[in-house]
């Protein structure tokens, strides 16, 4: 017999995976704006589709519906906003060669609002809003926002080759399954969506793009926040800020940043 807590985790994982697969199929059959809008060349020059990214965002949010009201709202805000901002960058910024925080902030200082800048500020705002729903004290709210936004950007930073982002979410989310409470359910939701897109991503038939990477990272961030107190939040926030700074400075990793 499956215990209630284990059942919620399994339900969140399966729901996220099922909705992600169904969403991918639905988008593929309709291809809003035409199929050309949803195809890209990957690092090896192969043609891949982008449907899995927004589908993963919706799937992760669907898995998170197993959470209590507060964390459920936080997950919806963080994941769907991160996915939407990422999708906007996937579409509007497809031909923009600029990469990394500094490039987009530099353009903003010159009066140009790039899709990467919209994504940066949009996901940051969504992270803070989600953090405010998850924590009570002002310091904890801010730390939670940094963790959620930082996790979203971190997963995007590691998405430099097929399967790396999904594998990272599975590896980093797995320890969260051992926790009690909403953090475990949120981790399961992120892992279910990641597992659903991983075969096509590794097989170079699809790429999750910024939409999928940021959404999966945001879901993972919600899991971290829901399962940690102030000390844990501070440690995660420091590590994520350091990773973002390093990724912005290193060529290959920065190439997958705020493109």
Tens digit of each residue's pLDDT (9 = 90 or more) over 154-171? 999 999 899 999 999 999
pTM of the predicted protein model: 0.90
So what's the pLDDT on residue 75? 97
Dist. CA 110–CA 108, nearest whole Å: 5
User: For the chain, which residues score pLDDT lower than 50?
Assistant: 1-3, 251-259
**Rg, the chain, Cα only:** 17
Dist. CA 148–CA 222, nearest whole Å: 6
So what's the pLDDT on residue 102? 66
Helices 209-226, 69-92: axis angle to 10 degrees equals 160
Contacting residues for 161 by C-beta, under 8 A, at least 6 apart: 43
So what's the pLDDT on residue 255? 40
If one counts every other C-beta atom within 10 angstroms of the C-beta of residue 146, the result is 23
So what's the pLDDT on residue 32? 94
So what's the pLDDT on residue 198? 97
206, 200 Cβ separation under 8 angstroms:
yes
84-112, pLDDT tens digit by residue?
Answer: 999 999 998 776 666 666 665 666 677 76
């Amino acid at each position: 017999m499956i215990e209630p807590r284990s059942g919620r985790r399994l339900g969140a994982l399966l729901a996220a995976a099922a909705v992600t697969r169904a969403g991918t199929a639905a988008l593929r059959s309709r291809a809003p704006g035409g199929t050309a809008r949803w195809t890209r060349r990957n690092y090896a020059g192969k043609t891949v589709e982008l449907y899995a990214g927004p589908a993963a965002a919706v799937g992760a949010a669907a898995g998170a519906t197993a959470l209590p009201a507060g964390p459920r709202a936080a997950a919806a805000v963080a994941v769907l906003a991160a996915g939407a901002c990422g999708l906007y960058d996937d579409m509007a910024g497809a031909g923009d060669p600029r990469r990394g925080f500094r490039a987009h902030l530099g353009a903003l200082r010159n009066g140009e609002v790039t899709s990467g800048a919209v994504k940066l500020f949009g996901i940051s705002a969504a992270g803070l809003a989600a953090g405010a729903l998850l924590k009570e004290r002002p310091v904890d709210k801010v730390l939670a926002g940094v963790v959620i936004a930082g996790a979203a950007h971190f997963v995007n930073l590691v998405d430099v080759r097929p399967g790396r982002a999904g594998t990272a979410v599975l590896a980093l989310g797995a320890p969260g399954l051992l926790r009690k409470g909403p953090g475990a359910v949120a981790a399961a939701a992120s892992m279910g969506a990641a597992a659903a897109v991983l075969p096509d991503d590794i097989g170079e038939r699809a790429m999750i793009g910024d939409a999928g990477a940021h959404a999966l990272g945001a879901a993972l961030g919600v899991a971290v926040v829901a399962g940690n107190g102030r000390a844990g939040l501070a440690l995660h926030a420091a590590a994520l800020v350091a990773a973002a700074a390093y990724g912005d400075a290193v060529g290959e990793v920065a190439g997958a940043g705020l493109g």
